[in-house]
Amino acid sequence: MEIKIIIQRQENPDTKPYLQTFLYKGDGALTVADLLAEMNAREPLMDADGKPAPRISFASSCHEKKCGACAMLINGTPKLACSVFLNTAVQKDNTVHLAPLSKFPVIRDLVADRSATFAMLEKMQVWLTRKRDEGEEQARQLQYAAGQCLACGCCLEVCPNYLAGNAFGGAAAMIQAYKAIEQNEDDAHRAELKKQYEEHFFNGCSQSLACAKVCPARLPLETIQARANAHLLKKHSILQKR
Ligand code: SF4
Ligand code: SF4
Ligand code: FES
């Protein structure tokens, strides 16, 4: 099988992106991340026209769906490159398209700068002052699930309301805020977390749940969001009683 790998390339944040095509010959029984590593090991790396090409920058670490570093657009859909096999990604015209996540600034080629997601957590004060240990079983299970978030940004890519640097933090922020609200023993900090959750998630989420459909960790985003919202609505009903 001969597959055309069409990659959106960009030398640095200030240059324009362009497309470059490479050829792969084989049965496609390797992941997209392994394919990129194989291409970078070619000596020299040539494009489909036989011209020398610079090495392809991409991020990866664990190669087993645990770190989120390799998130990119594969045929326009956000996925983890280490979890997608080339023979499942190839389209009818024998092409596979690779591009960086589009909601973040590009550092180089397929590497996007996702630091805005971590800056948002800092802004929302998502950390534990004092950890609470008790809690009902369902909450513990959801908190554990929330802890599996890879911070990959796939949910942010498909979110109609997210753009890096804006006030809305998307599902990646929601899930961490939820965990911190439930696990925090400190009342004042928990109240602040709810305020931040309202401002940076609740007020901006339009409930499309596109995020849940693409999450590579298959996290129960709808249930977690419902739990987090319930904390907020409880807060408001208490305020109303007062
Ligand atoms: S439910 Fe929709 S608007 Fe809300 S975070 Fe998910 S994708 Fe974004
Ligand atoms: S919620 Fe899912 S898609 Fe979003 S950052 Fe976490 S693991 Fe990635
Ligand atoms: S390299 Fe870690 S999730 Fe893909």
Q: Quick one: 14 exposed, middle or buried, by C-beta within 10 A (0-12, 13-18, 19+)?
A: exposed
Q: Kindly report each contact of residues 217-220 with a partner whose C-beta sits within 8 Å and lies 24 or more positions away, as own/partner.
A: 217/65, 217/148, 217/149, 217/150, 217/152, 219/145, 219/146, 219/148, 219/149, 219/175, 220/142, 220/145
Mean pLDDT, range 167-195, rounded to an integer: 95
Residue 85 DSSP symbol = B
Domain residue ranges in the chain: 2-112, 115-241
Q: Which ligand is nearest to the CA of 68?
A: 3
What atom of ligand 1 comes closest to residue 208's alpha carbon?
2
Same CATH fold assignment for domains 2-112 and 115-241? no
Q: Closest residue (by CA) to atom 7 of ligand 1? A: 159
Q: Closest residue (by CA) to atom 3 of ligand 3? A: 65
Closest to 224 (Cα-Cα) out of 212, 242, 238: 212
The token pair that represents 238 in the structure block: 């208490």
Report whether residue 68 contacts ligand 3, using a CB cutoff of 6 Å. Answer: yes
Confidence of residue 238 (pLDDT cuts 50, 70, 90): very low
How are the residues of the chain apportioned to helix, strand and coil, as percentages rounded to the nearest 5?
Answer: 40, 15, 45
Q: What is the pLDDT of residues 123-158, one digit of tens each?
A: 999 998 887 776 777 788 999 999 999 999 999 999
Gap between the Cα atoms of 20 and 4, Å rounded: 10
Residue 201 DSSP symbol = I
Q: Which CATH architecture has domain 2-112?
A: Roll (3.10)
pTM over 0.85: yes
Which residue of 35, 36, 63, 148 sits with most ligand 3 atoms within 8 Å of its CB, as the best mutation to test the pocket? 63
Looking at CATH, the fold of the domain delimited by 115-241 is given as Fumarate Reductase Iron-sulfur Protein; Chain B, domain 2 (1.10.1060)
Largest CA distance in the chain: 74
3-state secondary structure of 52: strand
Whole-number pLDDT of residue 240: 42
What atom of ligand 2 comes closest to residue 175's alpha carbon?
1
